[in-house]
Structure 1
Amino acid sequence: MADPQNPPETQANSSPFVQVPIEITISVGRARPTVKELLQLSQDTVLPLDKRIEDPVELYVGDKLIGRGQLEELEGDSQGRLAVRLTEIADLKSGL
Structure 2
Amino acid sequence: MTDNTSSAGSDADDWAAALAEQTAASAAPAPAPAVAPATAQVFQQIQDTSAAAAAAAAAATTPVDIARVLDVPVQLTAEIGRTRITIKNLLQLSQGSVVELDGLAGQPLDVLINGYLIAQGEVVVVNEKYGIRLTDIVTPSERMQKLARA
TM-score relative to the length of structure 1: 0.69
Is 1:14–2:14 an aligned residue pair? Answer: no
Taking CA–CA contacts closer than 8 Å with sequence separation of 6 or more, which of the two structures ends up with the larger relative contact order?
Answer: 1
Greater helix share, structure number:
2
Alignment of 1:9-88 (within 5 A): 10-11=63-64, 14-73=66-125, 75=126, 77=127, 80-88=128-136
Cα distance in 2 for partners of 1:19, 1:31 equals: 34
Aligned-residue Cα RMSD (Å) equals 2.8
- SS where residue 83 of structure 1 aligns? strand
Contiguous gaps of at least 5 residues in structure 1: none
More off after superposition, 62-71 vs 83-92: 83-92
Structure ID, larger Rg:
2
Query: How many pairs were matched up?
Result: 86
Rounded Cα–Cα distance in structure 1 between residues aligned with 2:140 and 2:111: 13
Identity of aligned residues (%): 30
Decide whether the 8 Å contact of 2:77 with 2:115 is kept in 1: no
Q: Which runs of 5+ in 2 are unaligned?
A: 1-55, 145-150
More strand by share: 1
> TM (normalized to structure 2)?
0.47
**Structure 1 residue ranges (4+ consecutive) displaced by more than 6 angstroms after TM superposition:** none
